Structure 1
Amino acid sequence: MNMKNIFYGLFFVALACSLTGCKKFLDQKPQTEIAADVFWKSEDDIKGGVAAMYDGIQSIFDNNYTLYGDARTDEVRVGQYGNISYAMNGLAAGITGSDWTNFYVTILRANLGIKNIPIVKAKYQTGIDQKAINHYLAQCYTTRALCYFWLIRLWGDVPVWTEPYDDISIEPNRARTSKDIIIDTVILRDLKLAASLSNPSLNNVYEANIGATYSLLMDVAMWKKDYASAITWYDDLVALKKYSLEPTATWKNLFINPTATKESIWSVYWDWTLDGGADVSTLIGAGNTNSDFEVEDSVWTYWTKTPADIRGPQTIDFKNSSHDKFLKFYAPNLDAKGNQLYPNGAEANILFPIYRWADILLLRAEAANKLEDRPTALKLLNQVRARAGVAAYRADSLNNQPIMENAILAERKLELYMEAKRWFDLERTDKVIEVMDPILKYRQTRMGSPAVGFGDPRTILWPINRNVLDANNKLVQNPPY
């Protein structure tokens, strides 16, 4: 990743609001990029800069949400039209998803906000409420932390930029920094600062709000296996008194109308009339094409044989004989025969969930189990199961830590199916090879290939795209790629 290339492509920050009037900056799609000496002069410019940052998050998830979190797992298999490499642990340096540029575009925009937002108030528009300034900054810090958290989980060590690349005389190439250093000195620092700046009275689900910040802090703590800190951040979330599980009857709201539910914490806004269709729709279900991925047999079997579980028919299309339509993110839209109608890819809205309360409850259950507090783990696990309409677990059936952990992870697989969580769950709990090795051996055998299983454990990480490597001579490829 060469920051000079990004500089020439962006040249600073999006002119989202100054061109459109900025009635609601989350509704604006950035139109162009302009220099700081004519931008960052007003609160509308701040809103435009923040809009550009959220547009960056859209670009990150647009086609890669499924690839990063689900495609390599036991949730799906690759269909006739998909790239079998995802299902066979055969990633290479040119595969879709291996280019991290959109993460760094978004980081650049966050860095520009962090640098320039205070200057707008100090120099150009002194009347802006300091609470508003702080909240804009909190969104920038949380977004930057989100990007680095995804980067280190996907690629391990990565280059770090905590200041904007706003001068082409700056050395554009940087070597990779240890992921552990990034967690402690960038991600956690940013999130704690964001928590101190965020306005807790604001709760826009499409913003990096205080709940999103605490959720990220909890997630990072779980990644570090710092379970006591994870519980502390969970307690801070509870203290906000904002979140609860969506009722069973309206579970679908989480994906089609997240503003109408107390369970949603942070989702990605999308409006195809402004943003174009979400490309991930062509991977999991669009009306004008076959999907790249199909429901894994074990998932299909569980849900078709467990009619009490309300999540199944609202997540996968039971009427689709190819098993390649995932309707979770679409509102019901039935033809005369009762078949779900899917939007064309160019008109698909996917309101990507980043964090929601069921996710947090199950993380809290995982932390409790790690600390040998199985009663709490069982209670939280059963809350999610009760909402889903399935029977509660008995304490005597989950009577040790490994069994409880597997039950929690199995529930997360179902509850958070296709929400870009499963791969990271396996990675966080050191279960990638344990879970995927037998599945890969089965797939390899069916294809007539040697049953080598997962193979080199270093391939848990993604390869760095060859174009990124070519642009930055200080980068070294992840072995064994």
Structure 2
Amino acid sequence: MIHYRKIYKYTLLACLALSMSCNDQLDLKPISQETADNAYNTASQIEAALTGVYESFQSSQYYAWDHVIFQDVRSDNNYAGGDNTEIFEFDNIDVNTTNSRIMSAWSSIYNAISKANLVMEKAPLVEEGITDERKDQIVGEALFLRAYHYYTLVKYFGGVPLYTAFISSTDPSETRKPRSTVEEVYAQIINDLNEAANYLPDTYGSDASVNKARATKGAVNALLTKVYAQQPVPDYSAVLSHANAVINSSAGYVLLDSYDELYDGNHYNNEESIMEVQYLGGNEGTWAPQMHLPPSLSGDTWRKFTTPSQDLVAAFDAEGDYIRKNASILFENVSWVDEYWGNTPNSSVPFAYKWRNAGSWASTDDQYIFRLADIMLLKAEALNELGQINEAATVVNVIRTRVDLPDLTSDDMASQASMRMAILKERRLELAMESNRWDDLIRYGVAIETMNNVIDVDLRTNQLVNYNIDENDLLLPIPQNEINRNPNLEQNPGY
């Protein structure tokens, strides 16, 4: 099996064949049927096209950076930092319909979906140099990727247009679809993943850098675990079933003994990892770590982004959770003025520390798409919601033991409600800055309460920050450019 990082050289071929820009900006010009028919006749061509779908994880600004902004900066975990007015909108939970970051995410993700649809259409027709088994796997990988991208869209925007076939027409009836309902999008995601599970293996062999880069049955079950929990009416029996499928997989996922090794840059593609975005450095590096690492590690002195919040640091300290705190956050004195951590130069300011190698804008630090601890905590959540409080606590305690924390208390286990809050807190500390916090607050139904109760003081004015969010703030706006282009789209309420 060819690892998608190792066939980057084919991506240009894929992009040319697709008549798409590799910068993942949505190209509204359909690919002609003649071009598509001539481009996918051999195994190398269809493998290159599949690589182009995976490469969307690397080339898109969303998957390199904005997922942290949409999740952690938008929540109580991080401040915007930096000086970008559009990121301040996420920090303030007051996002404008013309914010370019939502347009970039929307277009990049739909571009990836279009690539996946084309691969699914063409893979079964390839005859030269490929087995039927491999063609099925390629379809399974594309199904998984399409499902992942629609899952991203439905969480942030609600119901979105569903494109489940490759479009080679300019007919507005095909290109300008209305929004499907949230329930319809989740149903499509689940259907895609169930079909993908029929085609994908537990592993592709013994090379971890392949198994953690490509869609596997473990990745399918991990995503199904999250989907069944996050959908409007959670199905916790299904959450439990798919979490157990991950935990018991023959792929052998296990927690690392050291929490810090998850992020030290020397242990990517580890046994806890289920799937991760791969970076090699150079042209295949990620620029994201340069955006948030402190001067001592980044080599520059400008103000950085995604500053950990007072509330997050206090949560680590209140729990005595210094192993995860020190692996997640690094304090350093800085030359600039920070409105939350010190209104004078040379104040000590925290930095996001889960990606530690700036690499001069070409870091080799991977990003986890799924890792086992996340799935275990979702299992605990499901057990608790199914009335099995003691069993849920047992799972959480395994996570806590790794970071030298005591077992949950009797107060934590006193009721389903108290256990629910204990699991939510555990997820926050375990997964801080891994793009889960906003989803968790939404799923637990506490986003409005949590954000309106955050006590943040702007040191420039000594005034409390009033987030003042309501139901309309729980979704992001549909990008105005898309509404202008597609009159069948309706904007989310409140925008």
Tell me what 2:488 maps to: 474
Offset of residue 360 of structure 1: 0.4
Q: List per-residue Cα deviations over 1:294-334 (Å, max 9, x = no partner).
A: 11113224446777632222211133555242221225xxx
How do residues 105-144 of structure 1 correspond to structure 2 at under 5 angstroms? 105-121=111-127, 125=128, 128-144=130-146
Whole-angstrom CA distance in 2 between matches of 1:82 and 1:212: 34
Whole-angstrom CA distance in 1 between matches of 2:226 and 2:292: 27
Whole-angstrom CA distance in 1 between matches of 2:161 and 2:114: 12
Q: List per-residue Cα deviations over 1:146-188 (Å, max 9, x = no partner).
A: 011110110001111000122335632111110111111x101
Tell me what 2:198 maps to: 196
Whole-angstrom CA distance in 1 between matches of 2:309 and 2:465: 19
Report the secondary structure of 1:38's partner residue: helix
Match for residue 155 of structure 1 among 157, 175, 189: 157
Deviates more, 1:413-422 or 1:31-40: 31-40
Is residue 373 of structure 1 aligned with residue 373 of structure 2? Answer: no
Deviates more, 1:415-424 or 1:248-257: 248-257
Match for residue 246 of structure 1 among 237, 255, 280: 255
Whole-angstrom CA distance in 2 between matches of 1:201 and 1:266: 11
| Contact 2:456/2:464, CA 8 A, preserved across alignment | no
| Contact 1:117/1:133, CA 8 A, preserved across alignment | yes
Task: Describe the shift of the 1:26–1:189 C-alpha distance in structure 2 as closer, same or farther (beyond 3 A).
Answer: same
| Contact 1:205/1:258, CA 8 A, preserved across alignment | no
Q: CA RMSD in A?
A: 2.6
Offset of residue 41 of structure 1: 1.3
Tell me what 1:463 maps to: 477
One-letter amino acid of the structure 2 residue matched with residue 111 of structure 1: N
Deviates more, 1:36-45 or 1:354-363: 36-45
Whole-angstrom CA distance in 2 between matches of 1:396 and 1:306: 14
Deviates more, 1:165-174 or 1:209-218: 165-174
Give the aligned length.
443
Report the secondary structure of 1:89's partner residue: coil
Tell me what 1:6 maps to: none
One-letter amino acid of the structure 2 residue matched with residue 329 of structure 1: W
Offset of residue 403 of structure 1: 1.2
**Which structure 1 residue ranges, 5 or more long, are not aligned?**
1-21, 332-341
| Contact 2:293/2:351, CA 8 A, preserved across alignment | yes
Report the secondary structure of 1:355's partner residue: strand
| Contact 1:64/1:280, CA 8 A, preserved across alignment | no
Tell me what 1:214 maps to: 221
Match for residue 306 of structure 2 among 278, 282, 293: 293
Whole-angstrom CA distance in 1 between matches of 2:95 and 2:480: 12
How do residues 324-343 of structure 1 correspond to structure 2 at under 5 angstroms? 324-330=350-356, 342-343=358-359
Match for residue 468 of structure 2 among 454, 459, 468: 454
Tell me what 1:310 maps to: 323
Is residue 223 of structure 1 aligned with residue 230 of structure 2? Answer: yes
Whole-angstrom CA distance in 1 between matches of 2:456 and 2:272: 38
Report the secondary structure of 1:323's partner residue: strand
Whole-angstrom CA distance in 1 between matches of 2:457 and 2:318: 23
| Contact 1:254/1:261, CA 8 A, preserved across alignment | no
One-letter amino acid of the structure 2 residue matched with residue 33 of structure 1: L
Whole-angstrom CA distance in 1 between matches of 2:390 and 2:219: 27
Task: Describe the shift of the 1:244–1:310 C-alpha distance in structure 2 as closer, same or farther (beyond 3 A).
Answer: farther
Task: Describe the shift of the 1:308–1:91 C-alpha distance in structure 2 as closer, same or farther (beyond 3 A).
Answer: closer
Whole-angstrom CA distance in 1 between matches of 2:276 and 2:4: 15
Whole-angstrom CA distance in 1 between matches of 2:425 and 2:314: 14
| Contact 2:253/2:274, CA 8 A, preserved across alignment | no
Deviates more, 1:292-301 or 1:305-314: 305-314
Match for residue 33 of structure 1 among 6, 12, 16: 16
Tell me what 1:98 maps to: 102
Report the secondary structure of 1:389's partner residue: coil
Task: Describe the shift of the 1:96–1:348 C-alpha distance in structure 2 as closer, same or farther (beyond 3 A).
Answer: farther
Report the secondary structure of 2:402's partner residue: helix
Task: Describe the shift of the 1:147–1:280 C-alpha distance in structure 2 as closer, same or farther (beyond 3 A).
Answer: farther
| Contact 1:40/1:46, CA 8 A, preserved across alignment | yes
Whole-angstrom CA distance in 2 between matches of 1:365 and 1:446: 42
Report the secondary structure of 2:251's partner residue: coil
Offset of residue 395 of structure 1: 3.5
One-letter amino acid of the structure 1 residue matched with residue 74 of structure 2: R
What is the TM-score normalised by the length of structure 2? Answer: 0.83
Whole-angstrom CA distance in 1 between matches of 2:133 and 2:308: 46
Q: List per-residue Cα deviations over 1:413-437 (Å, max 9, x = no partner).
A: 1111110000001111111112111
Report the secondary structure of 2:91's partner residue: coil
Task: Describe the shift of the 1:258–1:210 C-alpha distance in structure 2 as closer, same or farther (beyond 3 A).
Answer: farther
Deviates more, 1:148-157 or 1:302-311: 302-311
Whole-angstrom CA distance in 2 between matches of 1:255 and 1:43: 37
Deviates more, 1:308-317 or 1:112-121: 308-317
| Contact 1:88/1:443, CA 8 A, preserved across alignment | no
Report the secondary structure of 2:274's partner residue: strand
Is residue 399 of structure 1 aligned with residue 414 of structure 2? Answer: yes
Tell me what 1:75 maps to: 77
Whole-angstrom CA distance in 2 between matches of 1:397 and 1:465: 42
Tell me what 1:164 maps to: 166
Whole-angstrom CA distance in 2 between matches of 1:290 and 1:444: 17
Task: Describe the shift of the 1:447–1:458 C-alpha distance in structure 2 as closer, same or farther (beyond 3 A).
Answer: farther
Task: Describe the shift of the 1:209–1:281 C-alpha distance in structure 2 as closer, same or farther (beyond 3 A).
Answer: farther
Is residue 178 of structure 1 aligned with residue 181 of structure 2? Answer: yes
Deviates more, 1:160-169 or 1:226-235: 160-169
Offset of residue 367 of structure 1: 0.6
What is the TM-score normalised by the length of structure 1? Answer: 0.85
Is residue 323 of structure 1 aligned with residue 382 of structure 2? Answer: no
